[in-house]
Homo-oligomer: A and B are copies of this chain.
Amino acid sequence: MPDFKAIGGTVRQRAASELRDRIITGQLRPGSRLDLDLITEEFGTSRTPIREALIELSHEGLVSIAPRSGITVIGITWEDAVDNFAVLATLAGKAAEWTAARITPDELAELRSVADAITGSADVVTANWRFHRALNRASRSPRLLTFVRHAVRAVPSNYFELFPEQEQRSLAEHAALLDAIGRRDGRAARLIAEEHVLHAGEALGEWLQAREREQLTAP
């Protein structure tokens, strides 16, 4: 979960982050066309960094760029968002599996303490994020991490602050996961991690679905 609230250094990164969020949150509707010069004007910069930000989003499947023709928002439906979370769950499962196989005793101890730090933390969201980051990193797979990054980017940036009520179940799942990793049971770790993330995805799906109904009712 990189770039978490980190609004990057370069104009390009900031623009990509901002535009991504507008698409993911539905401010920019699928099918709508984007005017490069208009965005340029809004951001008060030149076209180059905006253009490059949009190229980035096109690789993420959020917009479609037709050479010398136009830029169209593809966006993600709420079904897509749930799919994305399911993919994230699959990736997290694989990460947990590899972590179980590759983690060192020191890292495991560290991971446990990071997990314990979530309880009673003033900033549960960040603490939780740290846990998952440590977990993923322990997989020692830079390749896998790039995929996790992509999946996390497609999650609305404010999502992780939305469901505090999930906290109890989440903590229990963390404990079970750590237990499996401690036993070096990769298969179990994979299943638990996958379910864990999937649960969060289902909650997101319900929220998005409800919001879509609202928007249809009172546009």
Is A52 in contact with chain B by the CB < 8 A criterion?
A: yes
Given contacts A59-B56, A59-B59, A67-B9, contact A87 B147 (CB under 8 A): yes
Size band of the interface chain A makes with B: 20 to 34
> Within the complex, what minimum Cβ distance (angstroms) separates A126 from chain B?
25
Contacting A143 at CB < 8 Å: which of B10, B80, B94, B145?
A: B80
Instruction: List B contacts of A76 (CB < 8 A).
Output: 142-143
Is A55 in contact with chain B by the CB < 8 A criterion?
A: yes
Instruction: List B contacts of A151 (CB < 8 A).
Output: 147
Q: Is the CB of B94 within 8 A of A142?
A: no
- List 11 contacting pairs A-B, 8 Å CB cutoff, sorted by A: A9-B67, A55-B55, A55-B56, A60-B146, A61-B142, A61-B146, A84-B143, A87-B94, A90-B93, A143-B154, A147-B150
